[in-house]
Structures are given as C-alpha cells and as structure tokens.
C-alpha cells in the first residue's frame, strides 16, 4: 500500500499544480500508509518530507475541545462554566447577553456569536494588531468580541464561530492559569508524542496563495490559536486522530474516560456538528481547516476502523480538490 500511495499522490499533485501534498490512512492499531510529495516552496527544489509539519487550520478545534475535556476531568473547569464566571474582571465590559454562555455552548458553536468563516475585517485587524503576552492578548480579544450584543439568543442557533473558540480557549487559560499553548503542550502534544507539533506557520515550509501558487509565511493572529493555529506532521496528527477513532470504537484510551469522549462526539442539537468535529453522517467524524494558505482535512470512520488525513501547503480550491482526490484514492487502496 505504501509503495502505491506515493505515485498516486504525485499524479494528483501534478494534475492540480499543488506545491506539496500529503496523505495518510490508519486504523485503531496504527498507520497503514502515508506519503508526502512535492516541494516546500513553489519555484524551488527543496522536497517536502514525511516529518514536515503542515498547518491544519480549523482541525485545531477538535484539539481545543479535547483539551477542554482533559481539564474537565481534572475538575479545573466544567462544561457549564459561564463566560461571566470565567472572566469576573471583564464582566462589566462584556455584553450582558453573553454572561450566561457556557463553555459547552461555545464548543458546539451555540454561543450566540455571529457566523465568521469570513470574519469581521475591522475586528480581525484589531486582533492581528495585538502585542504582548498571549493570555493578555486573548483577554483583550474577548472584550472586543463580546462587547456587542449576541447575533442570536445563546443556545438557539448553530453559527460556526472561530471567535467563539478563541473565547473558549481564553476560558481554559483562566481556569488553569496557563496559556492555551502551554496547556496544549502539556495535555496533548507531550502525552501523544507529537514532537513536530507547534503553532502558527511552520518554519522553512511555505503556505501559498494565488494561482499559480505564490509562497507566504503569514498566518492568522496568534490570539486566534484555539480556533486554528496548530501545525504538525501527518504522523503526529495521526496520533491525535487515531485516539478519537479508538474512542469511537469503544477502545479504552489513557488520556480520557469514555464519558468524556461521549461529550466530545455528541451532537445534542442534531446540527451535524459536535465539539470540534462535523458529523455529516452518523458513522463519520470529519473536519477541514485552512488559514487560506494551507488546507487540511481529517475523517474518522469508526465502523470501517479507518481514519484518513490529507494536507497541502496551498489554500486554493485546486488544492482542496487535491485533498479530496487523495482521500478517495486512500479509500480505494
């Protein structure tokens, strides 16, 4: 299978013009096949490798939710903790309509915030301009995000919100007394041995914009990390995703109890979205991510005992199609 995957990916990469393309298939026991083809930067010859980190964008959300579950198990926070309880020092600056919004609601995109796949440009630029210690940046961002009235009554509507995950990450920081980045290292990356995992645009591996692809090392604002700023190799990402496949197949894991996974994978509103995972079908978890310069997608299929990953260093629709083609080829192997 491994020897077959590389030429398949190379043909997809060549057809779509994608600079680099990686894909991986695994099961509850481990990785079955993986390959990365192409170059780290368009127009150059430096080849991409298996251990190179891809930016996974909003696939980070499942990690932030998993971190929350670990802190809930340790009783550092609880799912029903409200924004007002998390930020008593900011309460007077946050609109009253958000005071009773819970961590659970934010992770399910039910916090009343507006849909922001295309974010408010003024607010986004303000957050990008933040300086100083990252926890302070996030607390300032929380005020800016929540000072206006909710777009809908909290709990009543699904609205995909990157800013909602920023607020959730800041709530975890407030509860644990450490930055989201430190908590991710401690509670996920180290236990899962994700040695290439980090935050922001990877070093020496460019994302790309435009068509034809032009290299860039830009990323989302650091404060937005909990919504989509992790980078890691496919191998390290697989350690995290396999952990969720095992739980979905009711295989006991060391990091979380079964009831915690039940919370993470539940869709109580039948909205097609759990905590950091879309649920397009009852037997599948999936999520895509992009900071507009990279694209990545993960799919977990518990009944088939498979999970699939694909990633590229180009945010263009052609690169997204390359990932979809790669996933289809993985299913045929």
pLDDT for position 1: 55
The pLDDT of residue 3: 74
Average pLDDT, the chain: 96
Q: Is the pLDDT of residue 69 over 80?
A: yes
Residue-wise DSSP of 221-285 = -GGGHHHH-EEE-HHHHHHHHHHHHHHHTT---SSS-HHHHHHHH--TT-SSB-SS-EEEETTEE
| Res. 267: pLDDT tops 60 | yes
Cis peptide before 212 (omega within 30 of 0): yes
pLDDT of residue 332: 86
DSSP reduced 3-state for 290: coil
What value does the mean pLDDT take over residues 120-142? 96
Q: In percent, how much of the chain has pLDDT > 70?
A: 99
State the pLDDT at residue 256.
96
**CATH architecture for segment(s) 63-181:** 3-Layer(aba) Sandwich (3.40)
Instruction: For 151-200, write each residue's pLDDT tens digit.
Output: 999 999 999 999 999 999 999 999 999 999 999 999 999 999 999 999 99
Q: Where are the domains of the chain?
A: 2-59+194-332, 63-181
Domains 2-59+194-332 and 63-181 share a fold: yes
Residue 119: predicted pLDDT: 87
Q: Does domain 2-59+194-332 have CATH number 3.40.710.10?
A: yes
d(Cα 225, Cα 165) in Å, to the nearest integer? 9
């Amino acid at each position: 299978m491994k020897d077959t995957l590389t030429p398949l990916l190379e043909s997809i990469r060549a057809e779509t013009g994608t600079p680099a393309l990686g894909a991986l298939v695994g099961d509850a026991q481990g990785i079955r096949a993986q390959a990365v083809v192409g170059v780290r930067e368009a127009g150059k010859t430096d080849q991409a490798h298996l251990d190179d980190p891809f930016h996974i964008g909003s696939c980070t959300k499942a990690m932030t939710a998993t971190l929350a579950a670990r802190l809930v198990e340790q009783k550092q926070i609880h799912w029903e903790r409200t924004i007002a309880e998390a930020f008593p020092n900011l309460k007077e600056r946050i609109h009253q309509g958000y005071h009773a919004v819970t961590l659970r609601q934010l992770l399910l995109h039910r916090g009343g915030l507006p849909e922001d796949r295309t974010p408010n440009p003024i607010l986004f630029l303000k957050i990008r301009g933040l300086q100083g210690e990252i926890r302070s940046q996030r607390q300032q961002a929380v005020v800016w995000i929540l000072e206006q009235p909710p777009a809908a009554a909290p709990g009543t509507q699904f609205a995909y919100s990157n800013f909602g995950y920023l607020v959730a990450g800041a709530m975890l920081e407030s509860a644990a007394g450490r930055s989201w980045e430190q908590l991710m290292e401690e509670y996920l990356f180290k236990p899962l041995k994700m040695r290439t995992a980090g935050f922001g645009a990877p070093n020496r591996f460019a994302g790309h914009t435009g068509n034809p692809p032009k290299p860039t090392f830009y990323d989302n604002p650091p404060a937005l990390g909990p919504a989509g700023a992790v980078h890691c190799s496919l191998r390290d990402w697989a350690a995290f995703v396999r952990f969720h496949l095992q739980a979905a197949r009711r295989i006991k894991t060391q990091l979380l109890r079964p009831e915690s996974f039940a919370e993470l994978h539940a869709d109580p509103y039948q909205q097609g979205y759990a905590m950091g995972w879309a649920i397009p079908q009852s037997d599948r978890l999936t999520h895509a991510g992009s900071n507009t310069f990279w694209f990545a997608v993960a799919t977990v299929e518990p009944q088939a005992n498979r999970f699939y990953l694909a990633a590229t260093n180009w945010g263009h629709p052609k690169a997204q199609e390359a990932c979809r083609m790669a996933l289809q080829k993985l299913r045929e192997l």
